[in-house]
Protein backbone atom coordinates (compact mmCIF):
# COMPACT_ATOMS: atom_id res chain seq x y z
CA UNK A 1 0.00 0.00 0.00
CA UNK A 2 1.36 3.44 -0.88
CA UNK A 3 2.60 5.77 1.89
CA UNK A 4 2.49 2.98 4.43
CA UNK A 5 5.32 2.74 6.97
CA UNK A 6 7.63 -0.26 6.73
CA UNK A 7 6.98 -3.19 9.10
CA UNK A 8 10.11 -2.23 11.05
CA UNK A 9 8.89 1.35 11.44
CA UNK A 10 5.49 0.16 12.62
CA UNK A 11 7.13 -1.90 15.34
CA UNK A 12 9.43 0.95 16.36
CA UNK A 13 6.39 3.23 16.66
CA UNK A 14 4.54 0.73 18.86
CA UNK A 15 4.56 0.13 22.57
CA UNK A 16 4.53 -3.29 24.27
CA UNK A 17 1.23 -4.03 26.02
CA UNK A 18 1.68 -7.68 27.10
CA UNK A 19 5.03 -9.50 27.11
CA UNK A 20 5.34 -13.06 25.84
CA UNK A 21 5.34 -14.37 29.45
CA UNK A 22 1.95 -12.74 30.12
CA UNK A 23 0.56 -14.30 26.95
CA UNK A 24 1.84 -17.75 28.00
CA UNK A 25 0.28 -17.37 31.47
CA UNK A 26 -3.04 -16.35 29.91
CA UNK A 27 -2.93 -19.37 27.58
CA UNK A 28 -2.31 -21.70 30.54
CA UNK A 29 -5.26 -20.19 32.45
CA UNK A 30 -7.54 -20.37 29.40
CA UNK A 31 -6.60 -24.00 28.79
CA UNK A 32 -7.59 -24.90 32.35
CA UNK A 33 -10.86 -22.90 32.24
CA UNK A 34 -11.93 -24.35 28.89
CA UNK A 35 -11.01 -27.88 29.95
CA UNK A 36 -13.22 -27.52 33.05
CA UNK A 37 -16.14 -26.23 30.97
CA UNK A 38 -15.92 -28.45 27.87
CA UNK A 39 -13.87 -31.46 28.96
CA UNK A 40 -16.79 -33.90 28.81
CA UNK A 41 -18.53 -32.58 25.70
CA UNK A 42 -16.25 -33.60 22.79
CA UNK A 43 -16.69 -30.17 21.20
CA UNK A 44 -16.02 -28.91 17.75
CA UNK A 45 -13.37 -26.17 17.95
CA UNK A 46 -13.49 -23.59 15.16
CA UNK A 47 -10.54 -21.29 14.49
CA UNK A 48 -11.41 -17.94 12.93
CA UNK A 49 -8.80 -17.46 10.19
CA UNK A 50 -6.40 -15.83 9.82
CA UNK A 51 -5.88 -14.00 13.10
CA UNK A 52 -6.71 -16.85 15.47
CA UNK A 53 -4.28 -19.35 13.91
CA UNK A 54 -1.48 -18.43 16.35
CA UNK A 55 -3.87 -18.43 19.33
CA UNK A 56 -5.37 -21.78 18.29
CA UNK A 57 -1.95 -23.34 17.71
CA UNK A 58 -0.84 -22.37 21.19
CA UNK A 59 -4.12 -23.12 22.99
CA UNK A 60 -5.02 -26.53 21.52
CA UNK A 61 -2.16 -28.44 23.23
CA UNK A 62 -3.40 -27.01 26.55
CA UNK A 63 -6.89 -28.52 26.11
CA UNK A 64 -6.83 -31.87 27.90
CA UNK A 65 -9.83 -33.54 26.24
CA UNK A 66 -10.86 -35.00 22.87
CA UNK A 67 -12.06 -32.45 20.36
CA UNK A 68 -12.60 -32.02 16.65
CA UNK A 69 -10.96 -29.07 14.93
CA UNK A 70 -12.03 -27.05 11.92
CA UNK A 71 -11.91 -23.46 10.78
CA UNK A 72 -13.89 -20.68 9.21
CA UNK A 73 -12.69 -17.54 7.49
CA UNK A 74 -14.43 -14.23 7.98
CA UNK A 75 -12.99 -10.73 8.07
CA UNK A 76 -13.88 -7.09 8.60
CA UNK A 77 -10.38 -5.61 8.45
CA UNK A 78 -8.90 -6.82 5.13
CA UNK A 79 -5.32 -5.78 6.13
CA UNK A 80 -6.50 -2.34 7.24
CA UNK A 81 -6.60 -0.86 10.75
CA UNK A 82 -10.34 -0.10 10.66
CA UNK A 83 -13.16 -2.60 10.21
CA UNK A 84 -15.64 -2.42 7.37
CA UNK A 85 -18.24 -4.86 6.02
CA UNK A 86 -18.10 -8.57 6.90
CA UNK A 87 -16.73 -10.88 4.21
CA UNK A 88 -17.23 -14.66 4.54
CA UNK A 89 -14.46 -16.57 2.77
CA UNK A 90 -15.10 -20.02 4.33
CA UNK A 91 -18.37 -20.77 6.13
CA UNK A 92 -18.64 -23.12 9.12
CA UNK A 93 -18.92 -26.75 8.02
CA UNK A 94 -21.98 -28.97 8.19
CA UNK A 95 -20.82 -30.88 11.28
CA UNK A 96 -22.28 -28.44 13.85
CA UNK A 97 -25.69 -30.03 14.38
CA UNK A 98 -26.32 -30.77 18.05
CA UNK A 99 -22.71 -29.98 18.99
CA UNK A 100 -21.02 -27.81 21.55
CA UNK A 101 -18.90 -25.44 19.49
CA UNK A 102 -15.93 -23.45 20.76
CA UNK A 103 -14.98 -20.53 18.50
CA UNK A 104 -11.40 -19.27 18.87
CA UNK A 105 -10.53 -15.75 17.76
CA UNK A 106 -7.59 -13.46 18.35
CA UNK A 107 -9.51 -10.43 19.64
CA UNK A 108 -12.95 -9.29 20.69
CA UNK A 109 -12.93 -5.72 19.42
CA UNK A 110 -16.36 -4.32 18.56
CA UNK A 111 -17.85 -7.84 18.60
CA UNK A 112 -19.65 -7.57 15.26
CA UNK A 113 -17.72 -10.36 13.53
CA UNK A 114 -18.01 -12.79 16.45
CA UNK A 115 -21.72 -12.03 16.81
CA UNK A 116 -22.19 -13.04 13.16
CA UNK A 117 -20.08 -16.18 13.65
CA UNK A 118 -22.20 -17.19 16.66
CA UNK A 119 -25.44 -16.62 14.68
CA UNK A 120 -24.15 -18.69 11.73
CA UNK A 121 -23.16 -21.57 14.01
CA UNK A 122 -26.52 -21.57 15.81
CA UNK A 123 -28.39 -21.42 12.49
CA UNK A 124 -26.31 -24.42 11.37
CA UNK A 125 -27.67 -26.37 14.35
CA UNK A 126 -25.05 -26.01 17.07
CA UNK A 127 -26.47 -26.82 20.51
CA UNK A 128 -24.33 -24.11 22.09
CA UNK A 129 -21.59 -21.78 20.95
CA UNK A 130 -18.88 -20.59 23.32
CA UNK A 131 -16.33 -17.95 22.37
CA UNK A 132 -12.68 -17.81 23.49
CA UNK A 133 -10.46 -14.87 22.61
CA UNK A 134 -6.86 -14.15 23.37
CA UNK A 135 -7.58 -10.44 23.84
CA UNK A 136 -10.61 -8.31 24.68
CA UNK A 137 -10.38 -4.66 23.69
CA UNK A 138 -11.58 -2.37 26.47
CA UNK A 139 -13.51 0.13 24.35
CA UNK A 140 -15.94 1.38 26.97
CA UNK A 141 -18.71 0.85 24.40
CA UNK A 142 -21.32 -1.94 24.48
CA UNK A 143 -20.61 -5.02 22.38
CA UNK A 144 -23.25 -7.28 20.79
CA UNK A 145 -21.74 -10.23 22.67
CA UNK A 146 -19.15 -11.03 25.31
CA UNK A 147 -16.60 -13.82 25.10
CA UNK A 148 -17.00 -16.78 27.43
CA UNK A 149 -13.21 -17.04 27.87
CA UNK A 150 -10.83 -14.07 27.72
CA UNK A 151 -7.06 -14.24 27.92
CA UNK A 152 -5.99 -10.60 28.29
CA UNK A 153 -7.48 -7.12 28.26
CA UNK A 154 -6.00 -4.60 25.83
CA UNK A 155 -6.55 -0.84 25.56
CA UNK A 156 -8.80 0.79 22.98
CA UNK A 157 -5.94 1.15 20.49
CA UNK A 158 -4.83 -0.77 17.45
CA UNK A 159 -3.01 -3.86 18.78
CA UNK A 160 -0.93 -6.48 17.00
CA UNK A 161 1.17 -9.58 17.66
CA UNK A 162 0.11 -13.10 18.72
CA UNK A 163 -1.82 -13.55 15.47
CA UNK A 164 -3.12 -9.99 15.20
CA UNK A 165 -1.60 -7.99 12.37
CA UNK A 166 -0.91 -4.41 11.47
CA UNK A 167 -1.24 -3.87 7.70
CA UNK A 168 -0.66 -7.62 7.24
CA UNK A 169 2.57 -7.69 9.30
CA UNK A 170 3.72 -8.91 12.73
CA UNK A 171 1.24 -11.72 13.44
CA UNK A 172 4.34 -13.67 14.51
CA UNK A 173 5.30 -11.50 17.52
CA UNK A 174 5.16 -13.46 20.81
CA UNK A 175 3.82 -10.46 22.74
CA UNK A 176 1.09 -7.89 22.11
CA UNK A 177 1.94 -4.35 21.01
CA UNK A 178 -0.16 -1.23 20.38
CA UNK A 179 0.37 1.51 17.86
CA UNK A 180 1.10 4.79 19.60
CA UNK A 181 -1.73 7.26 19.50
CA UNK A 182 -1.40 10.41 17.47
Residues with active-site annotation: 109
Whole-angstrom distance, CA of residue 165 vs CA of residue 16: 14
Torsion-angle region of residue 107: left (phi > 0), alpha (psi -120 to 50) or beta?
beta
Contact yes or no for 164/171 (Cβ under 8 A): yes
Please compute, for residue 83, the number of CA atoms within 13 A of its CA located in the half-sphere on the CB side.
15
The three-point CA angle 129-134-139 to 5° equals 95
Q: Which residues contact residue 64 at a Cβ distance below 8 angstroms, ignoring those fewer than 6 apart? A: 31, 35, 39
Closest listed residue to residue 47, CA positions, set 138, 114, 119, 122: 114
Whole-angstrom distance, CA of residue 114 vs CA of residue 119: 9
Amino acid sequence: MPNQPSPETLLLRAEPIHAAAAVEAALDRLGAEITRELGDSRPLVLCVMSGAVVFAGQLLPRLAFPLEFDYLHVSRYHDRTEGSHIVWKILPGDNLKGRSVLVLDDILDEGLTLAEVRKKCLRAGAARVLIAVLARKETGRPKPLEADFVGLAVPDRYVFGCGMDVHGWWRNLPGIHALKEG
